[in-house]
Amino acid sequence: MRARVIKMIATAVTVAVLILGIPSVILGGILVWQADQLSLESRTQVLGNMVERRIQANEEVTTDNLRSWVLGNDPLSTGYIRVNIPEKEGLIERGEHVEPPRMTAAVVLPSGATLRTEVSAWPTLWKVIRLVIALVAGIIASLTAGYWLALRGSRRISAPLIYLAAQAEQIGSGQVRARVKPSGIEEIDLVQEELVRTGERMAGRLAAERQFASNASHQLRTPLTALSMRIEEIELLSDNEEVRNEARVSLEQVERLTQVINDLLKTTKTGGGNAEAIHVLEIFNQQREEWEEAFESEGRELTFTDEAAQPVLAASSVLSQVLATLIENSLHYGEGTTRVVCRKGTSSRGVMIDVSDEGNGVPEDMTELIFEKGVSARGSTGIGLPLARDLIKGTGGRLELTQNKPPIFTISLPAMPASLDPDVVMPEGILVSVGRRRRRF
């Protein structure tokens, strides 16, 4: 999404700048050339008027006259001047012909004399080149500013969408929350408000399901228990073997029905999920209180460090259980200081939690087998690590052995953006009913 927004804005800015910039470069060059050409023609006309006055006064026009009329910053001072007076002096020249590129101008005087001038076009061309460089620099600056604005605009659009997706994920997992802070983008806010209403509806349905589960637990288990006791009594008191067999079959059916009801109620209670935005530091504090005394009794040290300082999307109970499994393994099979470090992942979307110690770690031949059920390198049941891996995988995370000696187990979790506090973006509290906004078309 963000890449598309950047591409769209950058393309629009590029097209606009090129449509305006290229004609500006061409037009600017033409205007500079025409300005110098008009200046040369104007100076030639002034010089022709001087020549015409001398002709009318029957004075001689010489090369020295031409030299004295073009001094200082006059462009003709380094150019070529030719005066043709057919009836008197004839052809009078000053300077030498200018090599191309050059600019020329000519006038015909009332007396019939003609005046032609030539100057080098290089000064004008340098002006054009400087103008083109300035305009191209402006185009590049505009493109750079446009790309920077595209980046900022994409962040402004993509960030609310990320938080909106996080809210949708929590609603989908059963974690009904209040509305997030409005983004200021009307379309996104409309979607967010609809998510709030969806969450309210889901909350009502979940409440109804839980109420049903509670009622069913009382209404079904009690009579089934009484029925089971009566059938057992019949089985014990009856002398008829056929009756006792039928009672035994009926008792099995009642027990099977009871188990089905228990499974249905369990599914209803646990089907909502519990993934949410949490602070890792809170989990660390909980684990420190639970395990610090055990490590001290063994003369070992347990440290927790939160370098990422970034909220994650996970289930707090699952993350606590997985960390407890890794810390317990380190306590029983590791040595030295056990370190639990939360750090940022290779991308901004992930957070890593490393659990390490200074022991001998996992043998090379057990690296690939350690997460298989029933496999253990130290004679344990081989259930803890596979179960922890399955639990964290169910919440969208990952558990793996990143280094075998000394051992480092790494938990990878999806991260919330660091610029937002989940307590502000998704505050826990009562459901907020939001009215529909009017949208102007």
CA pair distance 402, 354, nearest whole angstrom: 9
Q: What is the pLDDT of residue 432?
A: 38
CA pair distance 154, 299, nearest whole angstrom: 53
Q: Residue 377: phi, psi to the nearest 5?
A: -90, -10
Q: What is the pLDDT of residue 439?
A: 37
Amino acid at 288: R
Residue-level pLDDT, tens digit, the chain, 441 residues: 567 766 777 777 788 877 887 888 888 889 988 998 998 898 889 888 888 888 888 888 888 877 788 776 777 777 888 888 887 667 888 888 888 888 899 999 888 889 899 988 888 889 889 988 988 888 888 888 888 877 777 777 767 777 777 767 666 665 555 556 676 777 777 877 777 777 666 655 665 666 666 666 666 767 778 788 888 888 788 788 888 888 887 877 777 677 766 766 665 555 444 556 788 888 899 899 889 988 999 899 999 999 888 888 777 888 888 998 899 888 888 899 999 999 988 776 788 999 999 888 888 877 777 888 766 655 565 677 888 888 888 777 889 998 888 899 999 888 765 444 545 544 444 333 334 344 333
User: Could you tell me which of 392, 416, 407 has the C-alpha nearest to residue 340?
Assistant: 407
Q: Is 418 helix (H, G, I), strand (E, B) or coil?
A: coil
Q: What is the pLDDT of residue 441?
A: 32
Q: What is the pLDDT of residue 181?
A: 66
- Which residues, including other chains, have CB under 8 Å from residue 357's CB and lie 6 or more apart? 330, 334, 335, 336, 337, 338, 339, 406, 407
CB 199 within 8 Å of CB 170: no
- Which residues, including other chains, have CB under 8 Å from residue 121's CB and lie 6 or more apart? 100, 101, 102, 103
Q: What is the pLDDT of residue 338?
A: 92
Q: What is the pLDDT of residue 440?
A: 38
Q: What is the pLDDT of residue 303?
A: 93
Cβ-based neighbour number of residue 262 at 10 Å: 13
Determine whether 240 is exposed, middle or buried from the number of CB atoms within 10 Å of its CB (0-12, 13-18, 19+). Answer: exposed
Q: What is the pLDDT of residue 426?
A: 44
Q: What is the pLDDT of residue 355?
A: 93
User: Could you tell me which of 436, 426, 429 has the C-alpha nearest to residue 167?
Assistant: 426
Gyration radius from the chain CA atoms: 45
Q: What is the pLDDT of residue 342?
A: 92
Long-range contacts: 370-377, Cβ < 8 Å, 24+? Answer: 370/401, 371/399, 371/400, 371/401
Q: What is the pLDDT of residue 208?
A: 62
User: Could you tell me which of 390, 393, 424 has the C-alpha nearest to residue 277?
Assistant: 424
CB 276 within 8 Å of CB 175: yes
Q: What global pTM score does this model have?
A: 0.40
